[in-house]
A and B are shown apart, each in its own frame.
Chain A
Amino acid sequence: MRQSMNVKLKIFRFDPQKDEKPYYQSFEVEADPMDRILDCLNRIRWEQDPTLSFRMSCGHGVCGSDGMRMNGICGLACQKLVRDFEEEILIEPLPGFKVIKDLIVYLDPFFEKYNSVRPHLITKTPAPDQERIQPPDHQHLFEEAIRCILCGCCTASCPVNQNKETEAYVGPAALVRAFRYLFDSRDEASEERIALLDHKNGAWGCQTLWKCTEVCPKEIPVTKEIGQIKKRIYDTKHPKE
């Protein structure tokens, strides 16, 4: 049965218009165990403090707007329920991203990296009148990768991206999209794609730490896919006799 309970949230706050540095603020809201953390944040905003800022859009894990860190783990606030937590819930912006206000981070660098992998199908032969034929087992190769919603949770969680010395690493989200095109049997630019990925800030930036896979809200086997990119690069450069 539904029952109301008191939920405590400790939230990262920063307003560039008045705060010199960030601080944490505690709130209490009435919530049902089945409520989303996003519902709690909205309740705070609508009933207690309208200045609390965070992004949201679809509310059910499809648009990727509300990536944030909850008790230290990146995820979507609309996909985590109150009952998933005990006691106080610590809410912070995605790590490794510059904070604009409260839980809102600056996304441009993330999308610049994304754009750097040439995220579109490249073909050289003319398109047929109808569809290009693609056997189902070819389509299945990247069917998990196309679940990606660009929420940024993987890249934010990646220790390589978090490290100042290696933050130029293109990051798991961009690599998932690179994988999606590299392993799409319709794409005809694998040489160019491999050249784009074959460097220390490309696929080789991945140190196989699995954090991305752990947090992916769409359960994409991110680390495995990056591994497959590495294998593809290696195999291309070391063709078997």
Chain B
Amino acid sequence: MIFQHDIVIVGAGLAGLRAAVECADQANVAVVSKVFPTRSHSGAAQGGITAPLGNEEEDHWEWYFFDTVKGSDYLSDQDAVEIMVRDAPRAIYELEHMGVPFSRTSGGKIAQRNFGGHTRDYGKKPVKRACYAADHTGRVVLDTLYDQCLRHEVKFHSEHYVLSLIFEAGRCVGVVTYELATGELHLLQGKAVLLATGGCGRIYKTTSNGFASTGDGLNLVYQFGLPLEDMEFIQFHPTGLYPLGILVSEAARGEGGFLRNRFGERFMEKYAPTVKDLAARDVVSRAILTEIREKRGIGEKDYVHLDITHLGEEKILEKLWEIASFVRIYLGIDPAIDPIPVTPTCHYIMGGIPTDANGRVLADEKGSVVPGLYAVGECACVSVHGANRLGCNSLLDLLVFGRRSGLAMKDVISKYEHPSLYIDPLKMVKDHITKLLSHKGREKAGEIRRKMQSLMMDYGSVFRNEEGLKRGMEEIRLLKESYKDVEIRDKGKVFNFELMEAIELAHQLNLSEAILFSALHRKESRGAHFREDFSTRADWYYLKHTLVFQSSKGLEVRYKPVKITRFQPETRVY
């Protein structure tokens, strides 16, 4: 079928839904999602959303601005960060007015808690800046925005998987989707198309990300020869539940929990003397893995302990109910009595599709705009997170830039009509699907995915070096070859997940290569990108954004400068 909408939004997490709410009254908006909207991965965000409201103690946007830039290891674009931090209070009050059930202070204001890297007075001590609803903040915001979309009668195409972006005369004019329930292809024409497809954590074996986080949107753009920015910066969250990798929110440390090694030592005192367990995530993840490498993991195994026993059962049940339930269900222990085994888990990608502060996708290092195409949220790179994102800054990014993208799209749609298409995009995609389904091969997608996930842990996770990255690239290229011989055994049209996962795998393999290639070319250590062979930051050469391009000649890296408006790079210690 062919659907015509003013605005097509791909992805129904917080970024996509926030954008939809912004335009729904004045435009015909459709949201496409491969999962039912409330199953989107934003719902797994636990700890909070940061804003310098000062509800608990003195706070200022300038302090927050500094923390975010320092957290990013000076790679964020400061003009974009300033927009985000100054818009934060408005974004939070707006959510509250929509009905988000924030936890409250005794005076009835929005409660705030500590979070890693958020400090008072430019790094002096931790500050309570994260607004939260117990430890299911992402979920309640997702529910609230979904409810707002229902109220505004946003059209949802749920369980539709986007297979291709459609360009006409250089302008993005729609998407082709595959309806999972029927196997039918649809053309959704849009005068503006917004990608809000989230991250790609499922490239790694140990991850907090849901099964749907396969980076589809990133690669849909990348495969057209458009760049991806700063793909080497992959965040490993320090406290993934061992061994599953399920997120244990930083809120556990924000509420007073701390990490211990096998000698019971609070080892973060060594690595971050001022803020200790509340240092930025890259710092804490490296500290944990250093402890493990130096045989101070619990029982010399590859995990440490997160201790919240001293918080007491009442506080745990009130503020950390979800976490306590995960620990109980998946490990059979009570976190009020026993410490929680944790290990770093792939959590977030700082890089992504380069955009300006209104979500417009950028085509090159000069900042040329791709007409009609927008991106926001984890799949995008504005860049507010630079080389390392601070906890609670992702939800704010989604809300602030989701709204701005919505406003920007709403402004332009009146200038355009749906074009008549010279080529039949449905036919091209259909041919591709037919080819995938009819290929008789020897490879199984699941096996290739398993190998990819292992090798990305080995060569592309927290500690990296040239030899490993090169080996990883070689192995990924072999897997890409194997992929050509994948056989899809399910030939059916109704909920053929084997087909969808095979298509996801093609995206993941391409992105794995882009991550390793970008990492190989950054011969320094900055934020989440740590090179054992170049262990310090090299501002004189690498204070710049990586742009990776894919062309018929292979991969290419170009660079663009970082926008520095207020804070010059300094040594980063916590």
Contact = CB atoms under 8 A, between A and B. Distances in A.
A146 B108 contact: no
Contacts of A56: 211
Contacts of B36: 55, 65, 107
Given A119-B150, A120-B148, A134-B104, A51 B39 contact: no
B568 to A, nearest CB: 34
Contacts of B98: 120-121
A135 B108 contact: yes
A220 B515 CA distance: 42
A63 B492 contact: no
A58 B46 CA distance: 13
Contacts of A45: 497-498
B554 interface: no
Interface stretch (B76-84, B131-139, B334-342, B533-541): B131-139
B133 A57 contact: no
Interface in A131-187: 131-136, 138-139, 142-143, 146-150, 180-181, 184, 186-187
A135 B493 CA distance: 52
B371 interface: no
Nearest to B101: A146
A147 B181 contact: no
Interface size range of chain A in the complex: 35 or more
B517 interface: no
Given A100-B181, A120-B147, A57 B102 contact: no
A60 B246 contact: yes
A109 interface: no
Contacts of B322: 62, 147
B107 interface: yes
B35 A17 contact: no
Interface string A13-40: 0011100000000000000001010000
A130 B94 CA distance: 9
Contacts of A34: 330-331
B93 A130 contact: yes
B453 to A, nearest CB: 13
A142 B133 CA distance: 12
A51 B139 contact: no
A61 B211 CA distance: 13
A218 to B, nearest CB: 8
Nearest to A185: B108
A239 interface: no
A135 B139 CA distance: 22
B99 interface: yes
A16 to B, nearest CB: 6
A63 B44 contact: yes
B329 interface: yes
A123 to B, nearest CB: 8
Interface string B146-169: 011011000000000000000000
A139 B446 contact: no
A61 B495 contact: no
A57 B110 contact: no
A127 B489 CA distance: 56
B246 A50 contact: no
Given A136-B108, A150-B38, A57 B210 contact: yes
B446 A47 contact: yes
Contacts of B556: none
A109 B35 CA distance: 17
Given A51-B498, A127-B93, A127-B97, 20 more contacts: A17-B492, A50-B489, A51-B492, A57-B40, A59-B210, A60-B44, A60-B244, A62-B44, A62-B136, A63-B210, A64-B39, A65-B36, A102-B495, A120-B144, A129-B93, A130-B109, A135-B106, A136-B108, A138-B104, A143-B134
Interface of A: 15-17, 34, 36, 45-47, 50-51, 53, 55-65, 79, 81, 100-102, 104, 107, 115, 119-121, 123, 127, 129-136, 138-139, 142-143, 146-150, 180-181, 184, 186-187, 218-219
29 contacts: A16-B494, A17-B493, A45-B498, A50-B488, A51-B496, A53-B497, A55-B35, A55-B36, A57-B39, A57-B41, A59-B246, A61-B326, A62-B43, A62-B44, A62-B136, A63-B44, A63-B210, A100-B495, A120-B148, A120-B151, A123-B97, A132-B96, A133-B109, A135-B104, A135-B106, A149-B38, A149-B43, A149-B139, A186-B99
Closest 3 CB pairs of A and B: A121-B99, A133-B108, A46-B446
